[in-house]
Structure 1
Amino acid sequence: MYNVLIVDDEKIIRIGMRTIIDWEAYGFRVAEIVSDGEQALEIIENQEIDLVITDIKMPKMDGIQLVKALKEREFEGQIIMLTSYGEFDLTRECLRYGVHDYLLKGTLRSSELAQALEAVQPKLKKRVAKTQEVDQEGKQKEQELIKEIIPKVLKDTTFTPPVAAFGKSYQFLVIKHIKSKFEQERNMDRTLKDYGTAIQNIISEVLPKRGKPFLVFEGDWCLYSLPTSSEMSHQEVLKISLQIQNLIKLYTNIKVIGVIGRSIYTTHDLVDSIEKCMQVAGMAFYCGYQDVLKEEKVHGLKDYKFKDKSTYEKQLHSAMKKGSYAEAIHTLEAYIEKLREYYIPQKQVEQILNNILHRFILDYGIYLDKNKEHLENIIDKYRKSTLLEEYHALINELIYTICTYMEQVRDKHYRKEIVEIMDYVEEHIGEKITLASIASQVNMNESYISRLFKNETGMNIINYINIRKMEKAKELLSEKNMIVKDVAYALGFEEQSYFNRMFNKYFGVNPKEYKKCTNT
């Protein structure tokens, strides 16, 4: 459909020109009607006009001045003059400036106008074809520039691209491949580009009339050029973006999160949009991968220095030391909510939670010794997690397991003989405790004591003694003035090397490493 601008100072002519024929039946649309040349120039500067139909004599700027001005501006559309009898000399002058044809206003019929429109169409078609060719060439150059910029931005957000404006607006769907630590280790060299053919086919299926998708890949990222706002509404863009995200997950069996960027017009816009979309993609760690996110969510991110980290961790370890499940869970929940409130970056949160997990295993692995399979299962699930709620649930499970076993070890709600044995161990923790010395204390047979203790507590008596000694060893090692040798002797070990081996057996590190870890 070609856009027509009608210029005439007579109201009756303007009304008549609008209604004289069915413009759209001939492939034309009356875009604007104005009363003088100055208004016409303003319209042409701000709109795409293909055909100007103008009167010769008008106030302010007449038709001849308008035609000259359009020639100076290298107007690429066509012009038809409206003239009256006695204006033929003026009309001939206009024809020298490239006017296509002229029509007599006083006797103009619809058939004459229709013939004029049909006659001008071939020239308009050539112009459109030439414009499309130029546009296509410009589009290719733009896309080459975009393909050059995007990988550099994804690798280095400080990259500054050459300053350039695009001939059209772009809007990108930024897709991130979400990998757990387990997947990263197993697929070190596998990038999102390895799924490029599948992603291209999925987009072509969602939007079959769009042609080959414009995609750019770099590592765990992919950018797809979405339909612009002139082609599709915001809701439609959101809908197709969600379809693409879900179909990628369905057909490739990988986790992805999509972020819809804003409309961009320059290379500066492109870089800024990518950087913000990358930040927003990290928010999926908190809210999951079910919905497509939007670039404007970046305003919910806050620059926050997490000053309360040590306070929460001290409270958490204090609760664990007491074996208080309720207090530990409450503290962890408050800690997680603080992280969630400020959208602390995922890598920083993972480091915080990894340190908590490792410290729990280091400090309380002694209680998990009899059920190592359960601990290994928790760690395996943890390494395959990608969401904060998954990490949170698994640390909760670990806290519950540890506190349950701690309660079994420390619980004094047993029969009198068992409580007497436990009290004896606590009172003589700094001595070498043997089954014989316990039997002498409680006046029982050694084998009977072993069976009774195992039946009542579910734990071997020698293991219980070692656990209590190792728990005490941790307390002593946390004191700055205590060296490893002094701790070993304080707990009744005749040889430091034996103490070292036992400590390493229960905690996975030697006493010196543990002391260094807890005192940093």
Structure 2
Amino acid sequence: MDEQIIRTLQEQAIEERQYIQEKYGQDEDVVQVVNRRDYLTGRQSAAVRLYDNERNVPLHRHGYIELMYAYKGTFTHRFGEEKVLLEEGDLLVMNQYVEHCVVESGEENIGINIIAVPEFFEKPFQMLKKQNKIMDFLVEMLRRNTRKPQYLIFHIKGRHALENLMENLIESIMEGNGASEEISQYTMGLLFLYLAEQMDREEHDPVENYKDEIIQETLKYIEIQYRTARLGKIAEDYHLALPSLSKLIKEGTGSTFQELLMKRRFEKAAVLLLETNLPVEEIALNVGYENQSYFHRQFKMRYGVTPRRYRLIHRRKMRQQGKI
């Protein structure tokens, strides 16, 4: 993206920062409703603003549609009690009823916000030809009698057509004349068409993909780090609250984190009993249990016999089958 655009947005952000802070304050207990006229003037239907780390608007919703493009770095977004990490190149689209705020971002991060009234999306809606998550989102957004909070997250980093469309969209909105506004709406439509095509190739919607990613990373983490794995480490990595992460894992796997961890540990213990001559006490330590009586009790609960008896029975079978 043209660095002059970034500089222009940075200068604009400095001018607006004090006004926004004075108007909406920092009260975390009050959900503010940010007015569209704070950013849109006259007949303007869309505007571009830079998210800077000193703006710090508390939990709020707004009278407009907001897109946040993580142009550089990462941002942890809060939606009510849920926290979601936006990585570089991610695009977040929110309707006007989502309560949200940014709770963490690095000093060098650059987030670009597109602020638009619902009418701005009428042409993009007309350009979508078939039912998909984006069309459903736009239908809900343009429906006058709905107040359903909704947001979508798209990962567009490395997809050059999408990155170019995002930059073109930002530039055309910043030009701010009649012709550029129509171009902006058609560019938004093209962006949505590309995203819809991308979603057709994927099994789930972007939010579900993000959840699936967390679950797969959790399973991989347990598989490799079973001895010392802890739920708090994943929560820290993904900037999620422990209750939200626990619920996500339970819904995605049917088991709690602790159940998955114990299953992996005792599977590994069973392998070590058969493939090594390590003492049972050492095997317990190797899979993460210092409490020997607890290890023996849990092992017998799972396999019906003590660890030593398990080794004896299964090694005898292996000798009979010629495997050892």
| TM-score using structure 2 length | 0.31
Higher RCO (CA 8 Å, separation ≥ 6 residues): 2
Q: Which has the higher helix share?
A: 1
Larger Rg: 1
Q: Which has the higher strand share?
A: 2
